[in-house]
Amino acid sequence: MIGLFLRVLDFALPILFMIFLGLVGTGILVELGLMQRFSRLASPLFSHTNLPETCASAFVVSIGSTVAANSMLVKARKEGCLNEREVLLCAIMNSTPAYVRELLTYQLPIVFPALGPVVGGFYALVFIATAVFKVFAVALASKVFLKGNSCKAPESQPGKKVSLKTAVEKAFRKEFRIFLKIAGIYLVATTFVFILREQGFFESFNVLPLARIFKIPPESIVPLTSYVASPILGISLLGPMIHAGEISYLQAMIVLMLGSMFMLPVFALRSQFPKKVALFGPRLGFRIVAYSTGMSLFIRFIILLLLLEISS
């Protein structure tokens, strides 16, 4: 039990540190009165939605840190500025800049060299398509379900200049108690996930029947199964098969879509769920993860159907 707790701490402490920085950093920006200025940068995109200006501010911040951006939403909801539906849509919108960051930090340095330009380029396009779909889906949902909200990002009082030292002190006092609550929930949720992993829950997915249904080579079972546990491992195993001609480009794309459709729910439960529950609470956190993961799965399912149609 002690060993499990130490592993949880080893995993959770860096993330909790980032959450703490996000909360305090957002608080400092609010105290300095900078959030209104940030929101104007995203105004062209958000002018086509019914999302409030606070969401535009958070979206700009999410380009650098999704945790910091979501911390802003938590604060705005606590102050009565956003309702639950607005927070849900804004949180999904905040997840989209991560696809651009991942393109630069994961796709280009790892996926492209491993899979080659054809399959690697296809995989990158799937990520881009997912981000674009989420943006359009949130914009449409905001038009349908939201009536508009005049809530704006908070500013410091006009004519009252706040020093950086004062802003840091105020932000720390206001956010530290919130952080302690978030940290407690996150540690509990992460411990639960680690217990599931200890019991072999995440390794219990058998993809062999599906692989047979989709008529991919038997040799691809190993990278497909590995992908569910670790995308990097799966890609590393799939790459040599592509370069050696043991599997076609089209079959490799099908393997990637199948693997990611299994991997995404596992990743959501293992990584995203504890973070979102810690920030937004169990009910709203689960809905955010479910809707966001569902959109990603939908895109991959549609692409998988197109690939199967081409291969038939």
pLDDT for res 100:
81
Distance (Å, rounded) from C-alpha 46 to C-alpha 59?
Answer: 10
pLDDT at 39: 58
Measured CA to CA, the distance from residue 97 to residue 89 in angstroms comes to 14
pLDDT at res. 156 = 47
pLDDT at 128: 92
How far is Cα 121 from Cα 126, in angstroms, rounded to an integer? 9
Please give the distance of CA 188 from its chain centroid, rounded to a whole number.
20
267 vs 300: CA distance, rounded Å: 15
Q: Can you list the alpha helix ranges (DSSP code H) found in 79-217?
A: 84-94, 97-102, 112-145, 164-198, 208-213
| Joined tokens for residue 58 | 């958070």
pTM value?
0.76
Of 101, 47, 44, nearest to 69 by C-alpha is 101
Rounded-to-5 percentages of helix, strand, coil across the chain: 80, 0, 20
The pLDDT, as a whole number, for residue 35 is 57
What the block records as the tokens of 160 is 């009252």
pLDDT score of 38: 58
pLDDT, tens digit only, all 312 positions of the chain? 778 778 888 877 887 787 787 777 767 776 776 655 655 666 677 888 888 888 888 888 887 778 888 988 988 888 888 899 999 999 999 999 888 878 877 787 778 888 888 999 999 999 999 999 999 999 999 999 988 765 665 554 444 566 778 888 887 887 787 778 778 877 777 787 677 667 765 555 555 566 666 666 666 766 776 676 677 777 877 888 888 888 889 988 988 898 888 888 888 888 888 889 888 988 999 999 999 999 999 999 999 999 988 887
d(C-alpha 91, C-alpha 267), whole Å: 18
pLDDT at 207: 57
Residue 116 confidence (pLDDT)? 87
Q: What is the pLDDT of residue 181?
A: 76
pLDDT for the residue numbered 259: 84
Q: Which amino acid is at 258?
A: L
Residue 215 contacts residue 266 (beta carbons within 8 Å): no
Report how far residue 186's alpha carbon sits from residue 207's, in angstroms, rounded to the nearest whole number: 31
Cα dihedral 193, 197, 200, 203 sign: positive
Query: What is the model's pLDDT at position 157?
Result: 47
